[in-house]
Amino acid sequence: MRLIAPASFLAVALLLTACTSGNDTPPAGGSGETGEYVSGATLAMGLVSDPGSLDPHTSASSVLYQVASLAYDSLVGLDGEGQILPQLAESWILEGDTVTFALRDDVTCSDGSSFKPSTAAANIEWIADPNNASPFLGVFVPGGTVAEADDDAGTLTLTLATNAPFLMEGLSQLLLVCDAGLADRSLLDSGTVGSGLFRLTEAVAQDHYTFELNPDYAWGPGDVTAKTPGLPAEVQMRVVPNETTAANLLLAGELNIAQVLGQDRERLLAADVDAKTLRTVVGEQVHNESEGHPTADPKVRMALTQALDFEELRQVITSGVGLPTEQLAVLLPSGCHYDSVSANLPKTDVAAAEAGLDSAGWEKGADGMRAKDGQPLKLTFIYDTALGTAGSAAADLAVEQWAAIGVDIQASGLDNTQVMEALFQTGAWDITWVGLNVANPDQVVGFFSGPPAPEGTNFAGIANSDYEAKATEAMGLMGAESCPVWEEAEGALIRDADVVPFADNLVHTFVDGVDFTVLGRIEPATLRMLAK
């Protein structure tokens, strides 16, 4: 899941990737809208946190997804209008439950080996194996998919166990590892083994990651090659978790790209620093429904939801520029457009919240805090520090509103890697705010249904039968035909307070001397350095 975009998840990017609303891919040569292209330059990009392990198949962190996208290719590409483009696959044929790709025969990996159809098949098979617990199973690769390769014929055939309304869109986001990395995944912890436009030359955890242009690259979407004018010769990704520091580096000309969400955003806008914007979900409350957590009780989840003033929280978490969330999949280009939230989001009702906790057996003591059978109602609330000072202020406000109904909340701001560890491994949380940003509604199914973490990607252990039934129905339809059913499915999650989306933000990615397109991530093939 790109628990992508500003706050947490990947592309599926769970992301804090830098974002843009611009969907026009820069042309192959000449100049862009803001200046002449310059080849051979160095691009410096700020990262809000360290990506952790660089294995592109094991984490939905948006930061990881953005870093890894430099080094790896996908079967197909995607343009700003949602059209599928050739990339590693030159062509494809869809017939019933199978799709056959004809792969290029000239693709080489960073270790000099060839990228073959069997390489692509091994990637699909690894992700499709539930034992590997890849967060991209059911997101980019439909469950039960079988991959068969014919290296002599140059073809890869995928046979689907179920229908996939947005199959090709998902595959356009799937990063493919070369054979050596598949054979020994430890190579991927702090290195890359891919066929991408850039090659990793240096990795210093918590500090920087440096990539150089692959001089042999000739298979990019839109016919991009290493000789395309304007491509940077080097990309330096610098870990800069402090937004004020990132803003200062932008103003000093030491960063070309940085995402800034909080008060420093206004300072940069006032200084006329160019900015690209993207609408993303930044306020999305999810409760841990696993056994042993008080939030496994639907009465507690509803009370925690009804206690909050979401309009006020939205203003705070977005520094006054946010919008009400309308659907769970917001990244462009998206195949569905509807409002599943407005009619289903539980309304603020403090009295009802108090009554719900009373009926669940959580009684107020003399100090105004609640307990049950001698155990206090003490919950752990985690959120991503990538939300900046506005996110911290909103979290403090929510804690105050929960305290007003007698709930003791321990709030912790964690970096992107720590949030992923808590959600998908340790389960040491009761409430979280995540930014699960995806382009199409089928990409959230594995996060809100199915096997719970750590065995699966259903990090909150949600079991909503109405959602599961509607999602199954929607998966049997194709493309836009499925959208009305997805709307009903999402409504079931929101109505029952399993997922509580309350704030979209117009995320600003500030840029200096560079142009690019974002499709869930900054697309490496669209990076163009500009003359200043």
Q: What is the pLDDT of residues 264-322, one digit of tens each?
A: 888 999 999 999 888 889 999 999 999 999 999 999 999 999 999 999 999 999 988 88
Q: Report the Cα 14 to chain-centroid distance in Å.
A: 3
Residue appearing with tokens 């800069």: 240
pLDDT confidence bin for 333, thresholds 50/70/90: confident
CATH code (residue 343): 3.10.105.10
Query: 281 with 334: CB under 8 angstroms?
Result: no
Query: 444 with 1: CB under 8 angstroms?
Result: yes
User: What pLDDT sits at residue 480?
Assistant: 85
User: What pLDDT sits at residue 21?
Assistant: 34
| Mean pLDDT across 48-64 | 90
Q: How far apart are CA 221 and CA 204, in angstroms?
A: 30
User: What pLDDT sits at residue 2?
Assistant: 32
User: What pLDDT sits at residue 412?
Assistant: 96
| Mean pLDDT across 145-169 | 93
457, exposed or middle or buried, with CB in 10 Å at 0-12, 13-18, 19+? buried
User: What pLDDT sits at residue 61?
Assistant: 81
Query: 160 with 142: CB under 8 angstroms?
Result: yes
**What is the pLDDT of the chain when averaged over all its residues?**
90
Q: How far apart are CA 177 and CA 193, in angstroms?
A: 6
pLDDT over 50 at 12, yes or no = no
User: What pLDDT sits at residue 439?
Assistant: 79
In percent, the amount of the chain with pLDDT more than 90 equals 70
For residue 357, is it within any domain? yes
User: What pLDDT sits at residue 13?
Assistant: 31
For residue 399, is it within any domain? yes
For residue 256, is it within any domain? no
User: What pLDDT sits at residue 1?
Assistant: 31
3-state helix, strand, coil in the chain (%, to 5): 30, 25, 45
User: What pLDDT sits at residue 126?
Assistant: 97
pLDDT confidence bin for 387, thresholds 50/70/90: confident
pLDDT over 80 at 25, yes or no = no
| Tens of pLDDT, residues 119-151 | 999 999 999 999 998 988 888 898 899 999 999
For residue 329, is it within any domain? yes
pLDDT confidence bin for 477, thresholds 50/70/90: confident
Total domains present in the chain: 1
For residue 194, is it within any domain? no
pLDDT over 70 at 483, yes or no = yes
User: What pLDDT sits at residue 9?
Assistant: 33
For residue 467, is it within any domain? yes
| Mean pLDDT across 8-37 | 42
pLDDT over 50 at 232, yes or no = yes
Q: Report the Cα 373 to chain-centroid distance in Å.
A: 40
Spatial CB neighbours of 58, under 8 Å, sequence gap ≥ 6: 134, 135
65-74, 191-200, 419-428, 517-526: segment of lowest average pLDDT: 517-526
- 17 compared with 31, residue with greater pLDDT: 31
Q: How far apart are CA 61 and CA 12, in angstroms?
A: 8
| Tens of pLDDT, residues 173-223 | 899 999 999 999 999 999 999 999 999 999 999 999 999 999 999 999 989
User: What pLDDT sits at residue 461?
Assistant: 97
Domain that holds residue 347: 283-506
User: What pLDDT sits at residue 35?
Assistant: 64
- 485 compared with 480, residue with greater pLDDT: 485
For residue 303, is it within any domain? yes
Residue appearing with tokens 């639907």: 298
Which runs of consecutive H residues, i.e. helices, occur in 255-309? Answer: 264-270, 298-306
For residue 147, is it within any domain? no
* DSSP codes joined into one string, 250-269: HHTTS-SEEEE-STHHHHHH
pLDDT over 60 at 30, yes or no = no
